[in-house]
């Protein structure tokens, strides 16, 4: 019984680590991942999209960002222009990685993602 539990936990750990590695690897192939300082500089005047939940966006967000939830963008991303760079961030890059793959597949070529998400952003923000 204890061995079976150990095997299940081991499988879960391997699967989790594998998922994280796969997500980050595929993200780097489809988008440019930028550190906080570069993200802040390059995103000025561009399509800067916060894909977190509205409550988190209202509490605090990157200055100049607009909030379009991940679920809405995943279904229909006509709010984004293909001819301009798209800068995305979420809490920890998990949803951004999924969305980047979809955007790339649909013809968006200049996609930038905030490294490690908003949790590690240290640029200018707006709070309500």
Q: Where are the domains of the chain?
A: 2-127
CATH number belonging to the domain at 2-127, selected among 3.40.250.10, 3.30.70.20, 3.40.190.10, 3.90.226.10? 3.40.250.10
Does the reported pTM lie above 0.85?
Answer: no
86 strand-pairing partners: 47, 111
Q: Report the C-alpha gap between 128 and 126 in whole angstroms.
A: 7
Output the CA angle 66-128-124, nearest 5 degrees: 60
pLDDT per position as a tens digit, 29-69: 889 999 999 999 999 999 999 999 999 999 999 999 999 99
Helix residue ranges per DSSP H, the chain: 2-30, 36-43, 54-59, 70-75, 94-105
C-alpha count within 13 angstroms, C-beta hemisphere, residue 95: 18
């Amino acid at each position: 019984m204890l061995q079976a539990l150990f095997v299940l936990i081991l499988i879960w750990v391997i699967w989790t680590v594998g998922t994280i590695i796969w997500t980050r690897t595929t993200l780097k192939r489809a988008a440019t991942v930028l550190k906080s300082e570069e993200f802040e500089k390059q995103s000025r005047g561009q399509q800067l999209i916060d894909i977190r939940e509205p409550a988190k966006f209202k509490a605090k967000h990157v200055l100049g960002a607009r909030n379009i939830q991940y679920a809405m963008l995943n279904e229909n991303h006509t709010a984004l222009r293909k001819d301009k760079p798209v800068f995305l961030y979420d809490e920890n890059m998990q949803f951004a990685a999924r969305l980047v793959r979809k955007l790339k597949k649909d013809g968006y070529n200049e996609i930038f993602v905030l490294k490690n998400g908003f949790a590690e952003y240290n640029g200018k923000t707006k709070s309500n």
